[in-house]
Amino acid sequence: MGLGRQERRGLYRPEYEHDACGVAFVATLRGHAGRDIVDAALTALANLEHRGAVGAEENTGDGAGILTQVPHAFLTATSGLDLPAEGGYAVGTAFLPTDGGERAGSVRAIERVASEEGLTVLGWRDVPIDDSVIGRQARDCMPVFRQLFVVADDGVGGLALERRAFRLRKRAQNHLGTYFSSLSSRTLVYKGMLTTAQLRQFFPDLEDPRFTARLALVHSRFSTNTFPSWPLAQPFRLLAHNGEINTVEGNRNWMAARQGSLHSELLGDIGALGSITTAGASDSASLDEVVELLHLAGRSLPHSMLMMVPEAWQNHAQLDPSVRALYEFMGTVMEPWDGPAAIAFTDGTQVGAMLDRNGLRPGRFWVTDEGLVVLASESGVLDIPAERVVRRGRLEPGRMFLVDTAEGRIVEDEEIKSSLAAAHPYQEWVDTNLLEVDDLPEREHVSHTPSSVARRQQTFGYTDEDLKYL
Report helix, strand or coil for 174: helix
CA 179 – CA 170 distance, rounded (Å)? 9
Strand, helix or coil for residue 168:
helix
Catalytic residues: 21
* Beta strands, E only, 289-427: 341-346, 350-355, 364-368, 372-376, 389-394, 400-404, 409-411
pLDDT digits (tens, 9 = 90+) for 207-243: 999 999 999 999 998 765 556 789 999 999 999 999 8
Which pLDDT belongs to residue 61? Answer: 81
Q: Does pLDDT of 396 surpass 60?
A: yes
Q: Which is it for the CA torsion 238, 243, 248, 251, positive or negative?
A: negative
Other CB atoms within 10 A of residue 13 CB: 10
User: Is pLDDT above 50 for 17?
Assistant: no
pLDDT in tens, 68-90: 999 999 999 999 999 999 999 99
Q: How far apart are CA 169 and CA 172, in angstroms?
A: 5
Q: pLDDT tens digit string along 131-182? A: 999 999 999 999 999 999 999 999 999 999 999 999 999 999 999 999 999 9
Position 11, amino acid: L
pLDDT tops 70 at residue 6: no
Coil/strand/helix, residue 248: helix
Please choose, from the candidates 402, 409, 295, the residue with its C-alpha nearest in 3D space to the C-alpha of residue 352: 402
pLDDT of residue 229: 87
Instruction: Give the integer Cα–Cα distance in Å for 397 and 124.
Output: 44
Q: How far is CA 318 from CA 303, 312, 322, in A?
A: 21, 12, 12
Average pLDDT in the chain: 92
User: pLDDT for 187-205, tens place per residue?
Assistant: 999 999 999 999 999 999 9
Q: What's residue 14's pLDDT?
A: 52
Interval 332-374: pLDDT, tens: 999 999 988 899 999 999 999 999 998 888 899 999 999 999 9
Q: Rounded to an integer, what distance in angstroms lies between the CA atom of residue 235 and that of residue 232?
A: 9
The percent of residues in the chain predicted with pLDDT above 90, rounded, is 80
Strands (DSSP E) found in 72-171: 90-96, 119-126, 144-152
Q: Would you say 152 and 118 are in contact if contact means Cβ atoms under 8 Å apart?
A: yes
> Which pLDDT belongs to residue 390?
98
pLDDT tens digit sequence for 283-318: 999 999 999 999 999 999 999 999 999 999 999 989
